[in-house]
Amino acid sequence: MKMKRNRCLRVLTVCGIWGLFSFAGLLTGCSGSDDDYPKGENPSTIESVRKVACIGNSITYGARQFLNDREKECYPALLGNLLGEGFEVGNFGRSGTTLLKNGNSPYWDTPEYTQAKEFLPNIVIVKFGTNDSRSINWPYHGSEFESDLTDFVFQLRSLSTRPKVFLCTPAIAYSNSIGADDGVITGEIIPAIRRVAEAQDLTVIDLHTALQGHQDWFPDGIHPGLEGNKFIAETIYSVLAEEYSLNK
């Protein structure tokens, strides 16, 4: 997959940048004392606080069968447009992948994961769960999801940039055409995500709730078209904007 880095159009003044990040904790990656972090180098300086890595499955990568121009219409590209100048957004999605290490197609083993870490992001958006919920995965390895997600967050927070990690709840599975189970997503995966977020002091971006009532945005019941991608990007942006006072 060709990684897409979105360049943006808005100019942030030096004062604006300091205002956005000096009190938001981005320089240290996450809230809490330095002892709470995995061991690594000191956080990056203000000049490099601008990289956003979007990690996930085909919903992150962009379902080309439902988009006229996947690279421009996937949610990471649209998020980059919203964030504006001063941010570089990388799309590290890989279709069909699971957060489960023992799933049928683990993200852990992909070149995209290696590329995401080499990108040295300051912000990471993590969105998994749809493929994990599938009947070929969850009944056999679902009990491992929470520990695997904990390990995944630990690896990301161990990067020298000490990135701030945001965990997204999965989009609604309006169809079980690929074996995805929204009951598993709602009853087991989302609670596990919330437990990891609470334990690690992370912010959850609740896409599952936000996307309720919008089945028409999902042509096959699983993958969003352009309207769905726009909404996902806007929902994530609204959380980042509040977190870092981007609109103030």
Type of residue at 44:
S
- What's the pLDDT at 86? 86
**129-149 pLDDT, tens digit each:** 999 999 999 999 999 999 999
Range of the domain at 24: 5-244
pLDDT at 204: 98
Q: What is the CATH number of the domain that holds 134?
A: 3.40.50.1110
Arithmetic mean of pLDDT, 154-181: 97
Q: What share of the chain is helix, strand, coil (3-state, %, to 5)?
A: 45, 10, 45
Confidence of residue 39 (pLDDT cuts 50, 70, 90): very low
The CA-atom distances, in angstroms, between 243 and each of 24, 102, 238 are: 7, 34, 9
How many separate domains does the chain show? 1
pLDDT at 245: 82
Q: Please state, rounded to an integer, the average pLDDT across all residues of the chain.
A: 85
Q: What is the mean pLDDT of residues 28-42?
A: 41
Give the pTM. 0.82
Q: Which two tokens stand for residue 77?
A: 């590209």
Q: Tell me, what DSSP letter sits at residue 64?
A: G
Residue 224 in this model has a pLDDT that exceeds 60: yes
- Closest C-alpha to 90, from 64, 126, 114, 116: 116
Confidence of residue 22 (pLDDT cuts 50, 70, 90): very low
What's the length of the chain? 248
In the predicted model, is pLDDT for residue 47 greater than 70? no
